Amino acid sequence: MLRILRLVLPIVLILWVFRQVRKPSGPLGRRVVQAMNLGHATMTDWGLQQVMVPKNAVILDVGCGGGRTVRRLAALAPEGKIVGLDYSAASVAVSRETNVQDIENGRVRIEQGSVAALPFPDRTFDIVTAVETHYYWPDLPANVREILRVLKPGGTFALIAETYRGGPFRLVYGIVMPLIRAAFLSDAEHRDLLTQAGFTEVATKHVSGKNWICATGRRPS
Ligand SMILES: C[S@@+](CC[C@H](N)C(=O)[O-])C[C@H]1O[C@@H](n2cnc3c(N)ncnc32)[C@H](O)[C@@H]1O
């Protein structure tokens, strides 16, 4: 019995974590989101360095999780406005805690909603970011077109992620990503995704020895 438990428990735990990163929920989900704030920090900062952020930019972070990216964007655009959006109530709650000061001073707003139907008018944002989230979106091509819709002409989309198909550690990710039903795109597929959605000046960047990708595109003027 003990032997079976030893075998089953780690599998249950791993499946639970996979579910939580897709849509964090409840008090434990909040802990997962707080851990992601720490775990994704270095990669996020590298990704944001690939984007020119004007100090008065109006920015949306889709799938904002625990809100650390929103806080970073608020620091990069000290005269701007930042909106974080996530479909998980747990993520929204933690994100609001992380950004409490900037919410109070009116520079940051955190909203609950899905990338599938962004609750914003056309041409609202100068920049849209999405960190470690696109793997889980319900319809990637349509969702990226939805991001294009809310960007101003000339605005920038930056998709930042910890893994892509064909990068280092391909064996592990090649098993894990299909298991958790996560989109696992190659470098070229990331570029095609943005180009086919209507973005121009599409480019991808990587860091030697890491599995990171930052795909950027501009909404035509
Ligand atoms: C792995 S977490 C990453 C969170 C954060 N961006 C970070 O880097 O720490 C993925 C986040 O995307 C959110 N998410 C997944 N699908 C979404 C969707 N369709 N619309 C909005 N948010 C979504 C999840 O709720 C979760 O908070």
Rounded CA gap, 53 and 78, in Å? 10
Is residue 7's pLDDT more than 80?
Answer: no
Is residue 218's pLDDT more than 90?
Answer: yes
Is residue 201's pLDDT more than 80?
Answer: yes
- pLDDT-wise least confident of 71-75, 100-104, 112-116, 173-177: 173-177
Among 20, 40, 133, residue to substitute to test ligand 1 (most atoms within 8 Å of Cβ)? 133
Domain range summary for the chain, segments of one domain joined by +: 2-218
Contact present, 211 and 168 (Cβ < 8 Å): yes
Given the structure tokens 């979106």, which residue do they identify? Answer: 137
Q: What global pTM score does this model have?
A: 0.94
Token readout for 150 is 């809310």
Looking at domain 2-218, which CATH architecture does it have?
3-Layer(aba) Sandwich (3.40)
Tell me the per-residue pLDDT of 14-37, one tens digit each, with 9 for 90 and over. 778 777 888 889 998 899 999 999
Using the mean position of ligand 1's atoms as its centre, give its distance from the Cα of residue 76 in Å: 21
Contact present, 155 and 112 (Cβ < 8 Å): no
DSSP 115: G
- For ligand 1, say whether the CB of 24 is within 6 Å of any of its atoms: yes
| CB hemisphere CA count around 159 (13 angstroms) | 27
Using the mean position of ligand 1's atoms as its centre, give its distance from the Cα of residue 136 in Å: 8
**pLDDT (0 to 100) of residue 119:** 98
Pairing of strands 58-62, 125-131: parallel
Tell me the per-residue pLDDT of 102-158, one tens digit each, with 9 for 90 and over. 999 999 999 999 999 999 999 999 999 999 999 999 999 999 999 999 999 999 999
- For ligand 1, say whether the CB of 87 is within 6 Å of any of its atoms: yes
Rounded CA gap, 135 and 42, in Å? 19
